[in-house]
Amino acid sequence: MHRLAILLLVSAITVVAVHAQDGDRIGAADEFGTIEGWAATNPNTPATLEGDGESLILTDHEGGNATWGAAAFKTFRGVDVDAYPWLVVKVDRMTSGFAGKLAHGGKKVSVLAGLPEPGLIAENIAETTGWSGVIDINVGLYSQGDGSEIAIDYVRFVSELTEEERAAMPEQRPLKSTSSHSPALMSLPRAGAWRHLPRSRPTHPSASSTWIR
């Protein structure tokens, strides 16, 4: 009995240590307990933005002046890009495609390649954007296709990638950027790499853009 108690104690300490390490690895993040701060504001793409307490759900309504899909935006304040250079997004559900875009200081960059299936996608934004220091970053999440829908589990800025995420690293790709001040500017998704992962919720992510199904 004494030995069992010791084993249980060691196991509990290990779990706490792992969670502490994950906590240190994650900087600014949204786990979507609420969708406060997010908005779908493009009048040309009628859309509904909802939360179920676990994810953000963006639904594009058919029609409108633009039929590429819809987008939801939130500005993350005080992101330390040097300490947390990786952006990781987990897509739980989508009807067609997903893509992402970041904006800061009047510059917009397509940093997340179009995701072919639900899963994780990550990008080293420090390398691909050239941004550094503590800055405000506007994150845009895009559903692709008229009448499309996406459900996002989380958005995280992290210090490094997990082993599984790093295993799916794609080759470097050129970025498209613009000096326009509208964060809703779309760009075509770029090619990338992805691999199958277990569907259990990951512990937390970090590498330059990766698809992980």
Between the alpha carbon of residue 151 and those of residues 20, 35, 121, the distances in Å are 27, 12, 14
Stretch 112-120: mean pLDDT, rounded?
80
Is the pLDDT at 172 greater than 80? The verdict is no
Q: Determine the Cα–Cα distance for residues 194 and 55; give it in Å rounded to an integer.
A: 22
| Cβ neighbours, 10 Å, residue 151 | 23
DSSP secondary structure letters along 63-115: -SS--SEEEEEEEEEEEETTT--EEEEEEEEESSEEEEEEEETTEEEEEEEEE
Alpha carbons 44 and 94: distance in angstroms, whole number: 21
pTM of the model: 0.71
* CATH entry, 28-212, from 2.30.30.30, 2.60.120.260, 3.40.50.300, 2.60.40.10: 2.60.120.260
Q: What is the structure's pLDDT at 167?
A: 62
Distance CA 25, CA 161 (A): 9
- What pLDDT digit, counting tens, does each position of 21-68 carry? 567 999 999 999 999 999 998 888 899 999 999 999 999 998 888 888
